[in-house]
Structure formats: structure tokens, C-alpha cells
Amino acid sequence: MTTSLSKYEYLPLFDGATIEYKVIDFTGIWYPDNFKLDIFTRQGRTDHVRVTSGLSSCPAFTGFAQFWHTLDFPDLPIRPGMSLRNGLTVSENGLYYLGEAINEFGNFTSPYIAILTNSPVAGERIEGKSKTYLSCKDSTLLRDDYLWSYRTIQHYELWGIFPDVWRTALWEHETNHVYNYAFAKDIGMVNIWHGFMDVNGNVVGTEYYALLGL
């Protein structure tokens, strides 16, 4: 069996592997007490996206790229300017986690913004304060004290067709961007929601649902 790049059971990131996602526009509400997104409306688009995983490195970072692209782009080579790059690190409260280190614009963030802990436990939290630099090669400071909060929400024996799934969440306070993720064991991200939250907790955003096995 091919060795996972990340060694994460719930986000294995096999080199060159792809997952295709259906793209859905949604409205919903964010609950700050448990970080769950409840969905009110969903409207599917005709387009799909594909994510290719692979190794990624630069002077300040060694980790894993997730190359997001429409189906008319080739899966390889991975294009840094269209990739989110994740790395392994540890939080101030001692939790090992996988987090976004480099965004799709090439900006480098430290500490990484968490999306999944190494050994998920329902209810665990990470409160982050990150700095964002122009790139991993250029230390020009773009943003200081960027506050974010991560939570592991709960485990599901079955999520749609996917068994053994952890649901996690992220809240980027400065921009009020909120996320829920669903990670299936030995597969990776099978559901992602990303949206903008208004002052009342209402969210408008985009959902990505993995088409594996469908």
C-alpha cells in the first residue's frame, strides 16, 4: 500500500492522489457554543473541482500541498499559486495538529491555522494568534495577531456513505470566515463548508462534497 505523506489517518494525503468534489452554494447559521454550521438551503452548481495532494517545501516550510483546480486543469504538476499547503505543528496547549501554513496567494502563516488534530477528541480547542508573511521566502509582515479558533466537534460512525468520520471547525475572527470539515479515515476531507458569517451568525458560503464511490 502507498505510504501516506502526512501519516494522518483522517487526512492521509497520498502523493499525486485526487479527490473530486461537487460544489454547492449554501446558507446556514453558525453556533458559537459548539462551532457547528447548520445548513438552511443548498443549491448545487454544475461545476466540480478536483484536489491533488503532494509534497511541498520552501525555506521556511516543509509539508503537503492540496492543489485545488477545475476539471479542465491537469492534476499534475501541482501549481503553488492554486494550492493550500498544510504542515504539522504543535499548539501552545500541547496538541499536535495539521494546519494551513501557506494560502492560495502564497502567503506564509505561523503558527499554522488548524484544521485537524493528530488524535482527535471531541470538544478539544485551540486558540491561535498567527502572523502572516508575504511568502515563505519573504518575511515582509502582512498581518499581525490574526486570531482564530479551532474545535474538534464530534465523531460519526457514518457520514453519508463514509464511515468513521471526524467533524472539525475553524473560526477566523478578523474576517468572520467560518468552516466545518468532515474527515473520513483513510480517505481525507469528504465534506467542507466555508462561508462568511454576519453579526447575527447567518452564513453564506460554499460546500464541497466528495464524489468518491458515487
Per-domain residue ranges of the chain: 18-210
Report pTM: 0.93
For the segment 42-51, the average pLDDT, to the nearest whole number, is 92
Q: Which residues have CB under 8 Å from 17's CB, separation 6+?
A: 52, 53
Place of cell 473530486: 20
Cell of 142: 502582512
Percent of the chain whose predicted confidence (pLDDT) is above 70: 95
E-strand stretches of 78-187 = 83-90, 96-102, 108-117, 125-133, 141-159, 162-172, 177-184
CA distances from 42 to 193, 198, 207 (A): 11, 18, 9
- Give the number of other Cβ atoms within 10 Å of residue 167's Cβ: 21
pLDDT tens per residue, range 55-93: 877 766 777 888 888 888 888 877 877 788 888 889 988
